[in-house]
Amino acid sequence: MASKTRVDTGEFGAGGKVDVPLLQALEEVRAIARSGLAPLTAAADAGRVNRPLLEAMGEAGLLGRLFPSLGSEDSPSDVSATELCLLREAIASVDTHAETALALQGLGGYPILQAGTDEIRKRWMPAIAAGKAVAAFALSEPGAGSDAAAIEARAVRDGEGWRLYGEKSWISNAPEADVYSIFVKTAPEAGSRGVSAFALPGDRPGVSGEHIDLLAPHPIGRLVLDGVHVGPEDLLGEENKGFRVAMRTLNLFRPSVGAFAVGMARSALDAAVMHGESRVAFGAALAEQQSVSHLLAEMATRLEAARLLVYAAASAYDQRDEQEKQARLSAMAKYFATETAQFVIDGALQIHGARGLVNGGLLEHLYREVRATRIYEGATEVQRTIVARSLRKGVRPADGARD
């Protein structure tokens, strides 16, 4: 997808330049989602892992776009945050379940790609990219959601390896995943500096779990670790440095959560504009009513601002801007885009009136889907705290200053 031909675009970029072939490829992605993925999601249980869907995305090369260095003998190159955002936005505008399946596969596979040994990568990554092995990211716990450093699941030394004990909750693709990128405490007294990451096969003795039913059905569940053995060959990165693996993954994926939200909101806005033009009320098109037209204008403006912020954050990641800037823009993009999507989808539903409430309709579906984006991978309140702390860093009142 690389190219020397580049264009400025407000439709997808934020002061950034996007390859012309890339934009063409995104139209192809939408076509694949409409014809090849949507029928598979419609025929499956949305609350369980959809293996035929994952394999179809693997065959179409969509999962391979998440892991660009596969097939290379060199150490893995990083994923392009911009391409990840474009891919998620494009699929989300067509099929949210397919988008979520792709994102969860990437979230679970990326720690293995970035921190696994050659042996671990060769064992898991080709199958993950082909959609034949289901990956999961297992960080959250009942008492450790946005405060990821508060995890209590632990690894106890057992010879050269460890035994894992504890519980993980709200885990993507659990309990059906073939491999979990799992994070546990190997040095509990050290806080976040005592976390280690492992590639844990889902069929390892001592692993059990159950599904969790959500407002919007997704393959999410709970894991119980009862003396599960892992060895040094399962370790991702260095012992006690797994928190870096988790944060690097989240820093990549947080802006793309915003892209997912933007894709959903784009679909809702398009539906609202079409309905406003076709629905006649009080002798004129609904969109001619000032209250409706102004709401549409507000929805469109906020959506475009959200999109620009998402791609500014992605660009900062890809250009290796200093970490403080990356974290600040990522937090801004994640919270602003998801809050904006909630506003846009709610506005679209309001414009549709009772039609928008029909069970199984587009807006009813999007209304349920969008709510969780404001919580997972760091709730809105946590993202605001990150932004505020970034602003305060290095700022000190002048000597003797008073409020």
CB atoms within 10 A of CB 121: 22
Residue 137 host element (H or E)? strand 135-138
Q: Is 377 a catalytic residue?
A: yes
In whole angstroms, give the CA distance from residue 368 to residue 197: 32
By CB neighbour count within 10 A (0-12 exposed, 13-18 middle, 19+ buried), where does 301 fall? exposed
Tokens of 296: 């549409």
| Amino acid at position 319, single letter | Q
Cβ proximity of 223 and 179 under 8 Å: no
In whole angstroms, give the CA distance from residue 392 to residue 79: 30
CB atoms within 10 A of CB 353: 12
Strand partners, 165: 154, 226
In whole angstroms, give the CA distance from residue 93 to residue 157: 47
Catalytic residue among 59, 210, 377, 381: 377
Nearest-Å Rg of the Cα atoms of the chain is 22
In whole angstroms, give the CA distance from residue 131 to residue 127: 6
Tokens of 337: 């885009």
Which of 21, 18, 23 shows the shortest CA–CA distance to 6?
18
Which of 367, 378, 170, 111 shows the shortest CA–CA distance to 258?
378
Which of 54, 45, 36 shows the shortest CA–CA distance to 100?
54
Question: Which positions are catalytic?
Answer: 377
